[in-house]
Amino acid sequence: MAARSRIGWWIAALALAVALSGYLAARLVWADKTVFTPGTMIDGHYQIEKACEVCHTPFGGVKQAACVACHGTELEAVKDSHPKSKFDDPRNAELLETIDARRCITCHTEHRPQRTRAMGVTLPEDLCVHCHAEVGAERPSHANLAFDTCASAGCHNYHDNSALYEDFLVKHRDRPATLAPARLGMRDLRNWMQAAGIARRPPLDAADHDAPADRVTDAKLLEDWRATAHARAGVNCRDCHRGPDASAASAWVDRPAPAVCAGCHSEEREGFEAGRHGMRLKQQLPPMRPREARLPMHADAADRELGCTSCHGAHAFDTRTAAAESCLGCHDDDHSRAYRGSAHARLWSAELRGEAAAGSGVSCATCHLPRTPRKAGGVETQVRVEHNQNANLRPNEKMVRGVCLACHGLAFSIDALADPDLVRRNFAGRPAHHVTSIDMALERLSQPRQPRRPR
């Protein structure tokens, strides 16, 4: 009896092992491979955890090229303070013995939630000591500072110090807290198209629509479209709703894919897919939904799919609605809830009512989807909207040059961004503390520079 019982247990164990092996083997070829995830992923990557191959070579570890593919262009644009070339320099070879800073995963190891800090950093806060132990001798102002304070807000960042370089701090040291008048750059696509010689179609009215009669069931849709920049630019219904067989008169798609928007708005689409709103689409994964977010969201927005029309609407494409109301329709964190009572919101409302000049209001998009000057076709500077809402979010000093300085002085901006409670209140009030970065830079100017070892 005992022997038969043991045999039964062995058969059951073998069957379970075979079943489990078969299940895991099948999961290797399925699109969803999260069963193999060894630990929780960081906020910046968890959305694409079902696409392991984006970062991993099968059975070969993490690809450095994958990190560079997503983050390399941004690091080049901000003149990365610690580029790989710095550590390829033979003079700095000894520094690699402690920290191999040539590889991203040295500092950003995924699936290690127990030791992951802000921005996905998995090394201790005092990591700077390994290379900068002598900074106290080189800079007297730093002599009594602990190495776990290097990355304190307004001091230093490992990669992007574009708003914290000494020369920049000194240059902007005397700017007032609030500039007058404070104005944002205005989008000027129409002027750029004219200068670039891009032909414009004649504007269209509601009666000019080319949608099939059985698809025009709501006159409001036509009225929404008639009032848009699309209609003014001669973009008709079939330009977006055209089916795969464009030559067929009956070809029609009720819900155009995001790729249709990208046909004209490729830059905007590229930015959208680089941020957390659209990064899943870039990897051919289902669209992000607010219920999957790690920030507080409104319950009634939980199952919305994030795409172009989530914010812009399907026919009205009202950029004013997209600039604030669309954001607040999903986001329910303290910072977002405090916006409506903020000075920024009052300025935005005044602009919408026509009581204030264009460009004087501050919406959610003003800071999180900022207007940026671009060179387009080598013709002239063009102002476009950055659709990667994470581009200047972490560390938040990245917001200083492209956003804050349009309305505020540098010292005030650094102090405000360094005050987490003020950020939570959506900048209702003034900074509680002063960051001494500019003071230190000015003090250093008055002192003879000490020679230091090349880095």
Length of the chain: 455
Quote the pLDDT of residue 451. Answer: 60
CB count within 10 Å of CB 231 equals 21
Angle between helices 437-445 and 410-417 in degrees, nearest 10? 130
Whole-number average pLDDT of the chain: 90
- Cis bond leading into 395, ω under 30°? yes
Closest C-alpha to 299, from 290, 287, 308: 290
Quote the pLDDT of residue 142. Answer: 93
120-128: average pLDDT: 96
Structure tokens at 175: 């700017």
Percent of the chain exceeding pLDDT 90 equals 70
10-25: average pLDDT: 82
Task: Out of 147-151, 249-253, 352-356, 365-369, pick the least confident.
Answer: 249-253
Amino acid residing at 58 = P
Cα angle 14-15-16, degrees, rounded to a multiple of 5: 90
Distance CA 161, CA 167 (A): 11
pLDDT at 454 over 60: no
* Domain boundaries, given as residue ranges, for the chain: 33-123
**Burial (CB count <10 Å: 0-12, 13-18, 19+), residue 318:** middle
pLDDT at 68 over 70: yes
- In DSSP terms, 57 is beta-bridged to 61
341-361: average pLDDT: 97
Distance CA 26, CA 366 (A): 47
Contact 286/278 with Cβ under 8 angstroms?
no
pLDDT at 280 over 70: yes
**Direct distance between the N- and C-terminal alpha carbons of the chain, in angstroms, rounded to an integer:** 76
At 235-246, the pLDDT tens digits run 999 999 987 765
More confident residue, 454 or 170: 170
More confident residue, 319 or 37: 319
pLDDT at 35 over 80: no
Percent of the chain exceeding pLDDT 70 equals 91
Distance CA 241, CA 257 (A): 9
Cα angle 184-185-188, degrees, rounded to a multiple of 5: 145
Three-state DSSP class for residue 408: strand
Contact 335/423 with Cβ under 8 angstroms?
yes
Quote the pLDDT of residue 11. Answer: 82
pLDDT band at 216 (very low <50, low <70, confident <90, very high): confident
Quote the pLDDT of residue 60. Answer: 77
DSSP 8-state assignment for residue 48:
G
User: Which residues of 39-89 form beta strands (DSSP E)?
Assistant: 56-57, 61-62
At 76-113, the pLDDT tens digits run 999 999 999 999 999 998 989 889 999 999 999 999 99
Closest C-alpha to 56, from 279, 121, 21, 48: 48
pLDDT at 32 over 60: yes
**pTM greater than 0.75:** yes
Quote the pLDDT of residue 196. Answer: 66
Write out the DSSP string of 94-147.
Answer: GGGGT--TTSGGGT--TT-GGG--GGG--S-TTTTHHHHTTHHHH-GGGTT--G
Closest C-alpha to 101, from 82, 75, 80: 82
CB count within 10 Å of CB 6 equals 10
Contact 399/392 with Cβ under 8 angstroms?
yes
pLDDT at 334 over 70: yes
Quote the pLDDT of residue 37. Answer: 82
pLDDT at 173 over 70: yes
At 379-429, the pLDDT tens digits run 556 888 999 999 999 999 999 999 999 999 999 999 999 999 999 999 999
Quote the pLDDT of residue 6. Answer: 78
HSE, side-chain direction, 13 A CA sphere, residue 443: 9
Contact 1/8 with Cβ under 8 angstroms?
no
Three-state DSSP class for residue 384: strand
Three-state DSSP class for residue 423: helix
Q: Nearest 5°: phi and psi at 358?
A: -60, 135
Three-state DSSP class for residue 385: strand
Distance CA 436, CA 149 (A): 13
Distance CA 355, CA 423 (A): 27
